[in-house]
Amino acid sequence: MGEFSRSDFPEKSIDLFLQMRRESDVRPDDFSFPLVLRACAGSGMAELGTSVHALCLRMGWSRDAVLWTAMLAGYAQHGEPVLGLQVFEEMVNLGIKLDGVVMVSLLLVFGRLGWLKQGKSVHGWCVRNCLGLELSLGNAIVDVYVKCAILGYAHRVFDRMSERDVVSWSSLILGYGLSGNVSVALELFDQMHLRGVRPNDVTFLGVLSACAHGGLVEQARVYFKMIPDCGLVAELKHYACMVDCMGRAGLLEEAERFIEEMPIEPDEAVLGAVLAGCRVHNNVDVGERIAKRLIRLKPEKAGYYVLLSNMYAAVGRFDEAEIVRDFMKEKSLSKVPGCSLIESKSYFPSSTENEVLDCF
């Protein structure tokens, strides 16, 4: 079970655990529980992880720091930041010892939630407790600042790290690429290449996003062609970036042809990138075709009807704009109001600007 939980096949560890529960009287202990929780984290089985956690509680193993840390890591890594935060709150209430491993998972939680204040507080706690910037902790601190769009802090932490891997480079490149800092993102990519670090899918997402912001269509094509050369397969997010780059540059017919030639079915993000370009450049012909595809894909989404109606109106096709509006009324379609998250209380003393910058 242990080897499987640490391998690329964590599901096998889970299968063995379930088989042990069904077919034997062997009682799980403080050795087997962390293994299966790690496997749940590695396979993205958050619901099963919650069930295993509940079993831990019923059997009296809940005060083991390894168990709690495994649960927190599982939720943090697989898109359940609120549940991860609840686990951390329980850890604090029970007096579980906090360490660098816990801080890595907690930083992932705060990054996903975009909670800068809490992320800085954890960073300050790490500085006060002299944890240094070993690879996983350094990457987590960089990640939280990138996700909160504080790229200056992220870059300073990156520069102070004694060891960097593809995650370190890619996180920073993606941050600069998405924020439109084109020259910095591409320069970081060049530096990474010179140091022999092999790019991953996130790296290419970063440089393609930078090209889209900078209108660098030809450069984007070069990077896109590099993806298979690096042993990777282009994903929908990479196609969306390419289409966005063409759309921003006004190459909308080319973007439409690019979509038709894709080896995979375009999703909402890919089609939406073309539609956004059509709106900017008033290309109603392509926009009409793309909007209709999006409406077929997401018939309940009012925004696409509104965009189509607005495009018609912008070029004086008011009758068609009115038809779309009437159809929306008939189907009772309207935009969904937004919502917000409520921030949690902080379990760390507030860190001053100077304290956080001590590590720089």
The pLDDT tens digits of the residues spanning 135-188 come to: 999 999 999 999 999 999 999 999 999 999 999 999 999 999 999 999 999 999
Spatial neighbors of 293 by CB under 8 A, at least 6 apart, are 271
Give the lowest-confidence range in 9-18, 79-88, 135-144, 152-161. Answer: 9-18
pLDDT at residue 66, rounded to an integer: 72
Per-residue confidence at 57, pLDDT binned at 50, 70, 90?
low
Query: Are the C-beta atoms of residues 176 and 184 closer than 8 Å to each other?
Result: yes
Query: Are the C-beta atoms of residues 232 and 239 closer than 8 Å to each other?
Result: no
Spatial neighbors of 233 by CB under 8 A, at least 6 apart, are 227
Angle at 90 between CA 87 and CA 96, to 5 degrees: 105
Ordered by where they begin, the domains of the chain are: 1-97 (1.25.40.10), 108-160 (no CATH), 164-234 (no CATH), 235-333 (1.25.40)
pLDDT at 13 over 80: no
Per-residue confidence at 38, pLDDT binned at 50, 70, 90?
low
d(CA 303, CA 336): 9
Stated pTM of the model: 0.76
- 3-state class (DSSP) for residue 55: helix
Q: Record the tokens describing residue 100, joined without a space.
A: 């660098």
Per-residue confidence at 304, pLDDT binned at 50, 70, 90?
confident
pLDDT at 254 over 90: yes
Give the mean pLDDT of 217-243.
96
pLDDT at residue 43, rounded to an integer: 59
pLDDT at 359 over 50: no
Mean pLDDT of the chain: 82
Q: Record the tokens describing residue 169, joined without a space.
A: 């480079």
pLDDT at 199 over 50: yes
